[in-house]
Amino acid sequence: MRNTLLLLCGALMLAGCCGRPGSDSDLPVYADESQPIEKRVEDALKRMTVEEKVAVLHAQSKFSSAGVPRLGIPEVWCTDGPHGIRPEVKWDEWDQAEWTNDSCTAFPALTCLAATWNTEMSALYGRSIGEEARYREKDVLLGPGVNIYRSPLNGRNFEYMGEDPFLASEMVVPYVREVQKNGVAACVKHYALNNQETNRLRVNVVVDDRALHEIYLPAFKAAVDGGAWAIMGSYNKYRNQHCCHNRYLLNDILKRDWGFDGVVISDWGGTHDTRQAVEYGLDMEYGSWTDGLRSGTSNAYDNYYLAHPYLELLRNGEASMEVLDDKVRRVLRLIFRTAMNTRKPFGSLNSPEHLAAARRIAGEGMVLLKNDDAVLPVDLAKTEKIAVIGENAIKMMTVGGGSSSLKALHECTPLEGIVAAVGDRAEVVYERGYVGDVTGAYNGVTTGRDLSESRTEERLIADAAAAAADADVVIFVGGLNKSEGQDCEGADRRAYGLPYAQDRVVEALAAANPRLVVVLVSGNAVAMPWIERVPAVLEAWFCGSEAGNALADVIFGDVNPSGKLPFTFPVRLEDNSATALGEFPGGKDVVYNEGIFVGYRWHEQQQIEPLFAFGHGLSYTTFAYDNVRANRGSMSDGGSVRVSVDVTNTGDRAGQEVVQLYIGDDASSLPRPVKELKGFEKISLNPGESRTVTFTVTEDMLRYYDDSKGRWVAEKGFFTAYAGAASDDIRGTVRFEYR
Ligand code: GLC
């Protein structure tokens, strides 16, 4: 509403002096939504002074940039983050503004969304979070993040979509498109190569072109091809240039090769040089602490790299008006798509529909890693006492983690969800088991829970074991959390194993009661030295407002788990390629020695058995795969091969299965992975029901990036199509020739 009134006032002010004679509207062209957007852009551009042009290129507050008040062109308001709409902060501070109407729905972390392997869930997610952003009158949502999972120690992996570029590419597009249907720009981040938090502001990534194009860029390209209106530059350097102003990544690849017509927004504090920002593709500068000024200095915004220093270059003829106008065109396009878009819906906030969406996405994303002896689902008709153990059963996870931290109107913890689901059908007892992070507040958002604990580690374990021994089933809820050094922005994890001596707790529980379920609340893989002694393991991710209810849905069988891992769980950290080849987190440079061999690509090339493989996930039912076949034995340029497989639900309850297609190049001039994900389809089957799933294999799915030629190539020869339920659970193959 704010924007509409501003627009109307500005336009009416001008109508008197420059309404087009005989026009069907008194609005000037730039304000007339019946006009083509490029015509509106050019009209606004020619009316703007140089000062007004420069003003729209940089922040005016922590999360907003100027419009053109004289023309009634509104400001641009940004908000974090990928999992929900951040609470309002003070004009020029990170501190909360302490509003009372800015609580939100906390949606599951993006690792959970990726683990659904369901593009419909991505669309539901984007629609829901876009509605909340619109309702809060935000024009740019700073998300989703699609940086590739290179190491399980990266503190921000929970905000991203896993280790595989195809999965991330497929899952990012619906999210972006649905957010933008609300007149809110998705700002896909962090472009590019932001795969660690250690030294993130300065580290220079050294990676070969094959890995850049085959692994680290595809999800960003998919988002751009999918119509993303904004991209956020990353903090790190590539080719010794900061990615917020990087000639190769921004000018050459993003804007020239990919034809990106949106805006490049800096990460907050990611801009370091005026001339580079001008010449190497930055369009909007946020969050800078410019030379000579410290954060929070008043009028710092006038001294931003793209503020007065840029104006001086222009006035001295040291910067071209053409480059300036290209930046301004992009910002105007953004404004016309968002703030000045009067046809956008009004959004909604904290609706039952959004809570239901959060719960559904969470339930579809949880991954049943192990379920021996069918410990899960817990049958309440045969259960009198449930022992719930672990700090993560009671700890709020919607707060913390860095910029994705939220002020959720509602958060159902795992214990609350389990208690609500059980009702009076069984007794639920709780024991802390361990002490992790007792912080009760994050940047002004208080959890209202007192996590203080006086017992010793030994006492806590003994009390937990005693409770376990006396129960019919034990549910341990542990994992990581959003504290620094865990799953949190700004630092990487210090170790691969579970923190806070949780392994000792799990061992004690396993000794006390064999009917033990380990639930991991986390955004990263972890070591499981106790895995042989634990019959059931469930990866429950960070699931936001409805975490507890969604967990209970899966534990008690109201939801049949169908999630699949979006990244590999190595047995030990040394099995991870970034660790094995020695550059994580690196020093001034971090060299991606592993090249394209990330995740399962590495494990399969090296024949290293993972703890749990990429694409792995069990169900409460079972599926048979039969008759993997191809419609023809060869394909030529422009042709295709259709690979089909018959899938049957051979169990006694309905369920969903993610049928996966991998392609392997039987012989290639350059080293290639054994196979790579090139297709997936999530299907629902009732008991006994069968479905034929067909994938159309085309030439682009056979290509690799030949960095000696600087282009994608598909070599003639034989390829193998692998169909299966996981990267390590292939149910059939078929060879075909590309002639
Ligand atoms: C942070 C993050 C980025 C976030 C921005 C604004 O440092 O890197 O993801 O959107 O700053 O909070």
How far apart are alpha carbons 136 and 354 in whole angstroms?
15
Q: What is the per-residue pLDDT for 441?
A: 80
Closest ligand 1 atom to residue 403 Cα is 12
Q: pLDDT band at 439, cuts 50/70/90?
A: confident
Torsion of CA 663, 669, 670, 676, to 10 degrees: 0
DSSP conformational letter for 75: P
Position 240 pLDDT exceeds 80? yes
Q: pLDDT band at 297, cuts 50/70/90?
A: low
Position 3 pLDDT exceeds 60? no
Mean pLDDT of the 465-486 span:
97
How far apart are alpha carbons 156 and 623 in whole angstroms?
34
Q: What is the per-residue pLDDT for 722?
A: 98
Q: Are 348 and 76 in contact (CB under 8 A)?
A: no
CA of 267 to the centre of ligand 1 (A): 6
The 3-class secondary structure across 22-37, one letter per residue, is: CCCCCCCHHHCCCCCH
CA distance from start to end of the chain: 59
How far apart are alpha carbons 60 and 402 in whole angstroms?
22
3 state SS of 104 = strand
In testing the pocket of ligand 1, which one of 146, 159, 268, 284 has its CB within 8 Å of the most ligand atoms? 268
- Report which of 66, 240, 35 is spatially closest to residue 139, judged by C-alpha positions: 66
Q: Are 604 and 673 in contact (CB under 8 A)?
A: yes
Lowest mean pLDDT among 2-16, 477-491, 654-668: 2-16
pLDDT tens digits for range 687-736: 999 999 999 999 999 999 999 999 999 999 999 999 999 999 999 999 99
Q: What is the per-residue pLDDT for 60?
A: 94
CA of 484 to the centre of ligand 1 (A): 16
Q: Whose CA is nearest to atom 6 of ligand 1?
A: 268
Q: What is the per-residue pLDDT for 294?
A: 54
Mean pLDDT of the 46-74 span:
97
Helix axes 165-180, 119-135, angle to 10 degrees: 40
How far apart are alpha carbons 312 and 309 in whole angstroms?
5
Catalytic residue among 80, 102, 267, 437: 267
Which helix (H) or strand (E) covers residue 640, if one does? strand 640-649
Mean pLDDT of the 181-203 span:
98
Position 303 pLDDT exceeds 70? yes
Mean pLDDT of the 13-32 span:
62
Does 267 participate in catalysis according to the annotation? yes
Q: Whose CA is nearest to atom 11 of ligand 1?
A: 268
Position 5 pLDDT exceeds 50? no
Q: Taking the model in full, what pTM does it have?
A: 0.96
Q: Whose CA is nearest to atom 9 of ligand 1?
A: 403
pLDDT tens digits for range 119-153: 999 999 999 999 999 999 999 999 999 999 999 99
Q: Whose CA is nearest to atom 5 of ligand 1?
A: 268
Q: In the structure, which protein residues have their CB atom closer than 6 angstroms to any atom of ligand 1?
A: 80-81, 142, 189, 267-268, 403
How far apart are alpha carbons 216 and 74 in whole angstroms?
35
Angstrom distances, CA of residue 377 to CA of 279, 638, 722 = 58, 48, 31
Closest ligand 1 atom to residue 194 Cα is 8
Mean pLDDT of the 331-358 span:
97
Q: Whose CA is nearest to atom 7 of ligand 1?
A: 268
Position 14 pLDDT exceeds 80? no
pLDDT tens digits for range 623-681: 999 999 999 999 999 999 999 999 999 999 999 999 999 999 999 999 999 999 999 99
Position 437 pLDDT exceeds 60? yes
In testing the pocket of ligand 1, which one of 61, 243, 265, 403 has its CB within 8 Å of the most ligand atoms? 403
CA of 489 to the centre of ligand 1 (A): 9
Position 291 pLDDT exceeds 90? no
CATH T-level topology, domain 623-738:
Immunoglobulin-like (2.60.40)
Closest ligand 1 atom to residue 235 Cα is 8
Q: What is the per-residue pLDDT for 444?
A: 80
Q: What is the per-residue pLDDT for 13?
A: 46
Mean pLDDT of the 529-543 span:
98
Q: Are 540 and 548 in contact (CB under 8 A)?
A: no
Q: What is the per-residue pLDDT for 11?
A: 47
Q: pLDDT band at 458, cuts 50/70/90?
A: very high
Compute φ and ψ for 493, nearest 5 degrees. -65, 150
Domain boundaries, the chain: 1-33, 34-337, 352-567, 623-738
CA of 55 to the centre of ligand 1 (A): 22
CA of 391 to the centre of ligand 1 (A): 28
Q: Are 314 and 321 in contact (CB under 8 A)?
A: yes
Q: pLDDT band at 295, cuts 50/70/90?
A: low
pLDDT tens digits for range 575-604: 999 999 978 999 999 999 999 999 999 999
CA of 580 to the centre of ligand 1 (A): 30
CA of 10 to the centre of ligand 1 (A): 32
Q: Whose CA is nearest to atom 3 of ligand 1?
A: 267
Average pLDDT over the chain, rounded to an integer: 95
Closest ligand 1 atom to residue 190 Cα is 9
CATH T-level topology, domain 352-567:
Rossmann fold (3.40.50)
Position 525 pLDDT exceeds 70? yes
pLDDT tens digits for range 269-288: 999 999 999 999 999 999 99
Q: pLDDT band at 18, cuts 50/70/90?
A: very low
Q: CATH assignment of 34-337, given 3.20.20.300, 3.30.70.870, 3.10.200.10, 3.30.470.20?
A: 3.20.20.300
Q: What is the per-residue pLDDT for 445?
A: 85
Q: What is the per-residue pLDDT for 2?
A: 46
Mean pLDDT of the 298-322 span:
92
Cis peptide before 462 (omega within 30 of 0): no
Q: Whose CA is nearest to atom 4 of ligand 1?
A: 403
Position 156 pLDDT exceeds 60? yes
Q: Are 365 and 121 in contact (CB under 8 A)?
A: yes
